[in-house]
Amino acid sequence: MKTVFEINDKYLEKLKNYYKSCEVEPNTPHIKHLFKTDEFTISVYKSNKVLFQGEDAEEEYQKWVKVTGIKPSIPKPINQTAYMNEYYKKTAIGTDEVGTGDFFGPVVVTAALIGPKNYPFLKEYNIQDSKNINDDVILKIAPHLIKQIPHHTIVLNNEKFNELTKKGYNMNKIKAYLHNHAIKKLMSKHKEYDTIIIDQFCSEKNYYKYLEEQDVVKQIELIEKAESIHQSVAVAAIIARYTFLIEMDRLSESINLTLPKGASGSVDAIGKLIHLKYGDDIFNQIAKINFKNMQKIKG
């Protein structure tokens, strides 16, 4: 994900102070400030253009949209032929997950059932890759999708997540378990479908290895960037993101602090405040304690 805007000197100073803990030496003479974490890179060019890149680029960009008041980028209307591929005429169960890169909050997986009969309804909502849709839009359209589209959502809360990681589960094993379970739940209510598509997060070999002790659904297709292949995956991602946002609000209310998304320096800062106020135990209920953030917060 890449986003760009131009910043004035007033807000540049704010941006520099905000990200000073992750500032590194620029790697090109055209860049005067460079901020880097595992989740995003922010480059400030000599022209005062600011480039956001990486997994959490959109989230960081939206922060500065609010601070500076600049007009946020609007997703371009989807090409009407974008989903015109070999899967277009198929009714598919598609799955996707949210929350796996966030220190705070649960992991959410949704399976959604979409076929050609749903396309007229979905056209109204400009369905596309959820990473290209900001959270405000997701909060508006997801309730309509939830009402109309057959789906099943699983929320793995932090206590259960932490329990599984202590037993030796890695993130991909947890995701495999959740995807498989969501698919089975949806299949139990809806028998008519042509294929099952999972947004690929590991190899097929490893996927089945993670589930060797489970009652596993085997007629699946693991496809990279599956949100752009079939709308079932895109809708699943939107519903999962919506559920994650609602859960984050609920957790924030429970401790009277707004929990940030992602796993950046701003997460560490809020984490340290929570640690001072509540101690260690609260994190088992609101965070993924195997993340590196936990070490930084306690340290």
- C-alpha span between 142 and 237 (Å, rounded): 10
Q: Please report, for the chain, the start and end positions of each structural domain, with discontinuous segments joined by +.
A: 2-68, 92-249
Q: Name the strand (E) or helix (H) holding 5.
A: strand 2-6
Q: Facing residues of 6 across strands?
A: 49
Give exposure, 237-272, as e/b (b: 16+ Cβ within 10 Å).
bbbbbbbbbebbeebbeeeeeebbbbbbbbbbebbe
For domain 2-68, the question of CATH label 3.30.310.10 is answered with yes
pLDDT at 10: 84
Taking only the tens place, the pLDDT of each residue in 288-298 is 999 999 999 99
Taking only the tens place, the pLDDT of each residue in 94-131 is 999 999 999 999 999 999 999 999 999 988 887 766 56
pLDDT at 49: 85
- C-alpha span between 140 and 142 (Å, rounded): 6
Taking only the tens place, the pLDDT of each residue in 15-26 is 889 998 899 988
Is pLDDT of 77 > 60? Answer: no
Asked if 98 and 237 touch (Cβ cutoff 8 Å), the reply is: yes
pLDDT at 239: 97
8-state DSSP, 282? T
Mean pLDDT of 139-157: 96
- If pLDDT is split at 50, 70 and 90, which confidence band does 78 have? very low
Q: Which amino acid is at 80?
A: Q
User: What's the angle, vertex CA 100, arms to CA 98 and CA 104, rounded to 5?
Assistant: 95
Q: Which of 59-73, 250-264, 273-287 has the lowest mean pLDDT?
A: 59-73
- C-alpha span between 13 and 245 (Å, rounded): 30
Q: What percent of the chain has pLDDT over 90?
A: 60
What is the bridge-based pairing of β-strands 23-24 and 2-6?
A: unpaired
Q: Topology of domain 92-249, per CATH?
A: Nucleotidyltransferase; domain 5 (3.30.420)
Asked if 113 and 149 touch (Cβ cutoff 8 Å), the reply is: yes
Residue 241 vs residue 80, higher pLDDT:
241
Mean pLDDT of 37-58: 83
DSSP helix/strand/coil, 258: coil
Taking only the tens place, the pLDDT of each residue in 171-205 is 999 999 999 999 999 999 999 999 999 999 999 99
CB atoms within 10 A of CB 62: 18
**pTM of the full predicted structure?**
0.73
Residue 274 vs residue 228, higher pLDDT:
274
Taking only the tens place, the pLDDT of each residue in 218-272 is 889 999 889 989 999 999 999 999 999 999 999 999 999 999 999 988 899 999 9
Asked if 143 and 59 touch (Cβ cutoff 8 Å), the reply is: no
Give the DSSP letter string of 147-206.
HHS-EEEEEE-HHHHHHHHHTT--HHHHHHHHHHHHHHHHHHH----SEEEEE-SS-HHH
pLDDT at 76: 44
Asked if 257 and 30 touch (Cβ cutoff 8 Å), the reply is: no
